[in-house]
Chains A and B, each alone.
Chain A
Amino acid sequence: MSDQALFWIFAILAGGGAIGVVILQDIVRMAFSLIISLGSTAGLFFLLDADFVAATQLLVYVGGTLVLLIFGVMLTASGPFRRIQMSSGETFVGAAVGLLFFSVIAFTVIDVEWETLDRSHRPVAEATNDETGNTSRAIGLRLVGIPADTEVGIHKDRGEKTGYLLPFEIVSIHLLVVLVGAAYLARAKRQETSEAAGGDA
């Protein structure tokens, strides 16, 4: 039963935070609402037996990406840009389109009979091989292509050959390129102004 209560608390916080991001006008309050939403999503991940993903969500998303966004808010939220009002007509159209879009998705989700999918076993619990719910070892083995329900070195012929090593490497290179690109983009203007200032002097 406590799982039920936790689910509803996290679900209401996640959905309410997401709706708050849309409704609130002040950019700082929007950022705080986003923090609540993403943090509660990490709680939902914990309830779904995905502890490694939940920890990553807290560390990378809430701890990294949102801090980056809040720095952007602080650097740009000066004077009139802190709240940019929409006209009431835009607000009405936005709300109507959002409600229609949500009803399309909701009716689809409710209509489909998910019970027909294979739920005879609990795949994640089986893969983790223990009752502690620790998925980090299983995810690590899955990344290198070893099915987690076999011991390392045994049943090698049974193992699937396709792991996630290539996507992992691509993402690594992608992160490196993004770091260099972001640093370049953020530096370019400052160099220009210093050159211009030097030229003026």
Chain B
Amino acid sequence: MDASLTNYLLIGAVMFVSGVVCMATKRNGIAVLMGVELVLNGANVNFVAFSRHTSLGLDGQIVSLFVIVLAAAEAAVALAIALNFYNNYQTIDVDRGDKLQG
């Protein structure tokens, strides 16, 4: 098999699914953040692969740049929230954050 569009899409799918499973199953808050990063990165692989292999052109690369920047912003805010959670509850286990459960 050559390095065609399908192979890149499959790599993107592996990263996306890994990220979703990581977000759903991990109980460590930082690990959930890592899952989000993986999902965004899998989407980025798809954008750049389509930009190279179809008539999408440079637009795919520009969108992937925006995704990278927004992922950085999201990581900063989410990490600040996670640190606040750790300060208030003395744990990073997301299952313990059930104060709003009623």
A contact set with B: CB distance below 8 Å: 3-4, 7, 11, 14-15, 18-19, 21-22, 27, 30-31, 34, 37-38, 41, 44-45, 47-50, 52-53, 56-57, 60-61, 64-66, 68-69, 71-73, 75-77, 81, 84, 86, 90-91, 94-95, 97-98, 101-102, 105-106, 109-110, 114, 117-119, 121-124, 127, 135, 138-139, 142-143, 148, 164, 167, 171, 174-175, 178-179, 181-182, 185-186, 188-189
Contacts and interface: CB of A to CB of B under 8 A. Distances in A.
A124 B14 contact: no
A152 B85 CA distance: 52
A38 B3 CA distance: 19
Interface string B11-52: 101111111111011111111011101100110110011011
A75 B77 CA distance: 15
B77 A148 contact: no
B71 to A, nearest CB: 6
Contacts of B87: 189
A175 B27 CA distance: 28
B20 A123 contact: no
Contact of B7 (A7, A52, A53, A119): A7
A19 B86 contact: no
Interface of B: 2-11, 13-22, 24-31, 33-35, 37-38, 41-42, 44-45, 48-49, 51-59, 61-62, 64-66, 68-73, 75-77, 79-84, 86-88, 91-93
B48 A182 contact: no
Contact of B76 (A52, A106, A148, A182): A182
B30 A45 contact: no
Contacts of B17: 98, 101-102, 105
Majority secondary structure of chain B interface residues (helix, strand, loop or mixed): helix
Contacts of A65: 37, 71-72, 75
B45 A127 contact: no
A143 B69 CA distance: 15
Contacts of B92: 76-77, 81
Nearest to A85: B27
Given A15-B15, A21-B38, A86-B25, A178 B76 contact: yes
A14 B49 CA distance: 15
15 contacts: A18-B14, A18-B18, A30-B31, A34-B34, A37-B15, A50-B61, A53-B68, A72-B30, A81-B28, A81-B92, A84-B27, A84-B93, A124-B61, A182-B77, A182-B79
B38 A68 contact: no
